[in-house]
Amino acid sequence: MKSDDPGIPVIDANISYRQFLDDFLRPLKPCLINGLTKDWLAAAKWTTTDSATGELIPDYAALNETFGDYPACITFCDELDVNGEAVQREMQVSQFITDIVSASTSHKRYLKDFHFMRANTSVTPPYSVPKFFRGIYSINHF
């Protein structure tokens, strides 16, 4: 275990489930998990490196090509319904991406409950649920 911030430990993704359970999950102690997504296809196919900053960012063109034609539930965070909940509307993924990339709106919104694999079954599963988040049954499998 290492720590970049004395308050939040940074752990390696290959920590055992038992150790994660005992050291973090049961005591409800936050941590950052380094390397958790490095083998995900999503990281390779749907991200790119920003040439100006060197940071990994979404590859909106690739996401638009794969999912642009599909509808998704978008939450409009700064619009509230009569119950005080954020408004949700269906919109094409391509329009959502266009709005983000063009910064054509200052509204806060996010793509919610978009099930990539149900929308486009020709896509190879882009990620797997990490062992830490599969449920308590995982303790017997890891």
* pLDDT tens string 37-83: 888 888 888 899 999 999 989 999 999 998 899 888 899 888 999 99
Pairing state between β 71-80 and 56-58? unpaired
CA-based angle 64:68:70, to the nearest 5?
A: 150
Q: Are 45 and 56 a contacting pair, CB within 8 Å? A: no
pTM greater than the 0.85 cutoff: no
Task: Supply the DSSP symbol for 83.
Answer: T
What CA–CA distances, in Å, run from 129 to 64, 102, 110? 24, 32, 21
Query: pLDDT tens for residues 72-113?
Result: 889 988 899 999 999 999 999 999 999 888 876 667 888 876
Could you give phi then psi for residue 36, rounded to 5 degrees? Answer: -65, -35
Decide which of 112 and 33 is more confident.
Answer: 33
What pLDDT shows up at residue 141?
46
- Determine the Cα–Cα distance for residues 42 and 117; give it in Å rounded to an integer: 12
